[in-house]
Structure 1
Amino acid sequence: MILKNREKSRELLMIESLNNRMKLSGKDKTHFYNLKKGFEGEVLFDRYIVEFVKCDCLVINDLLLQVNQTTFQIDSLMIISDCLIVFEVKNFEGDHYYEAESDKLYTNSRDVEIVNPLGQLMRAETLLRKLLQNNGFTLPIKSTIVFVNPAFTLYQAPMNKPFVFPTQITQLLTQLDSKPSRMTNKHKILADKLLSLDLLDSPFKQIPEYEYDHLKKGITCAVCSSFSLVVEGQSCVCLSCDHKESVTSAVLRSVGEFRLLFPERKVTTMAIYDWCGGVVESRKRIQRILDTNLKMVGKFRWASFE
C-alpha cells in the first residue's frame, strides 16, 4: 500500500514556472534540468513498484526528515515485515565509470566527477537509524541505489556495492514481492510516525531571483507549456499541441501558479486578469470563476479570494 504518493516539489514547480516566464541563467537551467530529470526517474521507479510489488507492505515516497538538526531525504521507503528498505533512485544517463581506488563516479569523458550516491545513501541510512532509535523503533534497515534509466551504463561496476541496474529492477522487486510479509499495528504506527515527521518542503530551495514585472504574463498550456492559448467558448485551446482545457480549469491553474510565486500578494480579479495576460478577455468571466470556486474575503474594491 502506498501511503504517500510522489508529487513535484515546491522548488521544482516554482522553477518550472519561472522557466516558462523568464530567461534562466545557465546555472539555474542546469539545476532545473537536474530536478526535472530526478523527478522523472523517481516516477518511473514508482511505476515499477506498483506493477511488481503486490505483497503486504507500506511504501512512503519522498520523505524529508530531520534528526539532531540534520535534514535528509529518502526517495522511497518500503516497510516490510522484518525490515525497512531505503531506495535511492538515480536517473543518470549515458556511460559512466567507477573508480574503485577512490570510490568515485565519473562521466564518460572521465573528467567530470559525479557525486557518489553511495555517500548519500549511507548518510540517509545512518540518520534514519538514529531517528528510529530516538522514537523507540528497532527494525533493521537495508539500502540500495536504483539506476532506473535504461540508457545508463556503469563501467567497472563493483559487485560488492548495493547497486541495482535497469535490467535488474524487475528481478529485485519480484524477489521482494515473493517474501512473506504481513503488516502489523507496529508497522502502521511506525509509518504514521514517519509521515508525521515529514517536513514536506525543503528549507534548502535554490530559486532564482524574480520580479512580477519581469515575468511573461499569460496562461500556459497544461501539456506543452506554450503560451499559444485561445479561448473558444468554454475551452482554452492550445494552438501548438491542440490540447483542450476548460476555461475554469485554466484560470484556476493560473491562480495556483500566481499563489506559488507570489504568496504575499492577494488574489483579486484584477490581479488574476493581469496575470492571465488577457487570454480571457472578460474580467467578469474571471470574477465569476473566482466567485464560484474560491472563498471571497472582504467586499467591493477590497475583495480578495482565498
Structure 2
Amino acid sequence: MAVIKPLKPSHQLQLFRALSARKEFSLEESQYFHSLQKGYEGEKRWQEYLKELPPEIPILYDLTLNINHTTFQIDALIIYQQHITFFEVKNYSGNFTSQDRHWYHSTDKEIKNPSIQIERNETLIRQFFKQHHLHLTFDYLLIFVNSEFMLYDATPRKNLILPPQIPSLIKKLKQISHTPTIHHTKIIQTLLSHQTEQPLFVIPDYTYHDVAKGLFCKKCNQRMERMANRNRMICTSCKTVYSFESALLNLIDEFSILFAPMRITNQVIYEWCNRIISKSTIRRVLGHHYALKGNGRGAYYEKRIKHIKANEEVDQ
C-alpha cells in the first residue's frame, strides 16, 4: 500500500491524552475521551487490514474537508483506476438493533444512525468533486471492525460491512489493480490541499496552574521517577523505562499541544517537568531537536527537525 496521508491521532485526542494524567475530567469529558480513544483504536484496526493491499494503491487517512461552509470527515479512502472507495470506521461493541432508520443499543438507548452520516457525506463529496472538477466514481462503505459488534433487524445494505465480512472485502480489494496517472495525482493534491481544521466538539477546561507538573508514562499515565545512577526515567506503575531524551520530548510535545501560544524555554520546561531533570540536560535536548530563536532573556526554542518518536522507550 502507498500511504499518502498516514493515520495519526486527532489534535483533540492528543489534547485529551496530554491532560488525562494531569487533571481530573468531568463525566462528560471522560465519556468523550473514551469515545475518541475507542474511535482511534478502530481506525488503527482498519489500518492493519488495509496493509494487505498492493503497494501501488494510494491510501489516505483522516481527511477533514469543507464544502459550502460545511465540514465533513473521512476516516480513510483508497484510489483505484477509475474509482474511489471511502470508509467510515466504527468500533462499536455490543448488541444493536436497527428499526426504521433508528438505531438502538441493547440498553434501549437510541444512538445516531451511522448510515445517515454516510448519506450526508456522500452528498458533500459529490459537491466537492463537482466544485474541483474531479471525475471518478465512488462508493462509501460503513465498516464495523469490532468482533464483539452485532446488528439485528437491519435492512440488507451493500455498503454496510460487518466484522465477519471484512476478510472477503479485503480479498476483493486486493484483486483490483491500479496504475497511477496524472489524474490520480491531481485528485490526491486536491484532497490534501483542501484540508481544514477538525472541529473541537468538547473542549476541556484547564489552565497552566491547575494541571499537574512532572513526567508521566505514555502507557499508563502514572508518574515517572528518575532511576538511581542512570540517565533514565521509570514508570512507578508499569515499570516502563524511558531515556531522559525520549521522556523530555514527550513532555515538550504535551506542553506544545496544551499551551501552543506559550514559548518553549529552558526555564519553562524545567518548571513543566517539576524540576526533575536538570536545566543542563533540558538545554542539551532542546539544542539538539529545536532551533534557538533570539538571545538573552528573550530566547526561546522552535522545533526544527523531526525527532525520534516521542513514545520511544528503552530496554529495562
Does the pair score TM above 0.5? Answer: yes
Counterpart of 2:144 in structure 1 is 147
TM-score (norm 1): 0.93
The question of 1:188 aligning with 2:185 is answered: yes
Match of residue 59 from structure 1: 59
* Distance in 2 of aligned mates of 1:264 and 1:189: 35
Residue 95 (structure 1) aligns with? 95
Alignment RMSD (CA, Å): 1.5
1:4 aligns with: 5
Tell me if structure 1 keeps the 8 A contact 2:20–2:221.
Answer: no
**Contiguous gaps of at least 5 residues in structure 1:** none
Name 1:270's counterpart in structure 2: 267
Alignment of structure 1 residues 262-301 onto 2, 5 Å: 262-280=259-277, 282-301=278-297
Instruction: Please say if residues 55 and 177 of structure 1, whose CA atoms lie closer than 8 Å, have aligned partners that are also in contact.
Output: no
Deviation at 1:80, TM superposition (A): 0.8
Which position in structure 1 is the counterpart of 2:84? 84
C-alpha change, 1:291 and 1:184, in structure 2 (3 Å) is: closer
User: How far is the alpha carbon of 1:303 from its aligned partner?
Assistant: 2.1
Conservation of the 8 A alpha-carbon contact between 1:57 and 1:81: no
The residue aligned with 1:212 is 208
CA distance in 2, matches of 1:297, 1:264: 15
Identity %: 32
> Where do residues 19-168 of structure 1 align in structure 2 (5 Å cutoff)?
19-51=20-52, 53-54=53-54, 56-99=56-99, 102-110=100-108, 112-160=109-157, 162-168=159-165
What is the CA deviation profile of residues 194-250 of structure 1, one whole-angstrom value per residue up to 9, with x for unaligned ones? Answer: 111122x31334221111111011111122221133244222122322212210121
Q: Which amino acid aligns with 1:80?
A: Y
Q: Distance in 1 between matches of 2:157 and 2:273?
A: 55
Q: Is the 8 A contact 1:86 1:125 kept in 2?
A: no
| Mean Cα deviation higher: 158-167 or 24-33 | 158-167
TM-score, structure 2 normalization: 0.91
Matches within 5 A, 1:173-184: 173-184=170-181
Structure 2 residues not aligned, in runs of 5+: 303-316
Q: In the alignment, is the contact (CA less than 8 A) between 1:15 and 1:207 conserved in 2? A: no
- Kept in 1, the 8 Å contact 2:224–2:233? The answer is no
Give the superposition deviation at 1:50: 0.3
- What is the match of residue 299 of structure 2? 303
1:253 aligns with 2:254: no
CA distance in structure 1 between the aligned counterparts of 2:56 and 2:102, rounded to whole angstroms = 37
How far has the Cα of 1:127 moved from its partner? 0.7
Q: Which residue of 1 aligns with 2:314?
A: none
Change (3 A) 1:239 1:204: closer
Residue 296 of structure 1 and its aligned partner are, at CA, apart by: 1.5
Provide the rounded CA distance (Å) in 1 between the counterparts of 2:271 and 2:84: 50
1:74-108 Cα shifts (integer Å, max 9, x gaps): 11111111211111100000111111xx2111001
Q: Is the 8 A contact 2:67 2:128 kept in 1?
A: yes
CA distance in 1, matches of 2:250, 2:201: 22
Structure-2 residue corresponding to 1:240: 237
Q: Equivalents in 1 of 2:157, 2:267: separation in Å? A: 62
Once the 2 structures are TM-superposed, how far is the Cα of residue 55 of structure 1 from its aligned partner? 6.5
| Deviation by residue 1:133-166 (Cα, 9 ceiling, x = unmatched) | 1111121111110000001111112213521011
For residues 251-280 of structure 1, the C-alpha deviation after alignment (integer angstroms, 9 at most, x for no partner) is 122111111111121211111111111321
Q: State the 1:295 CA deviation.
A: 1.5
Aligned length: 300
Cα distance in 2 for partners of 1:161, 1:172 equals: 11
Alpha-carbon distance in 1 for matches of 2:279, 2:55: 53
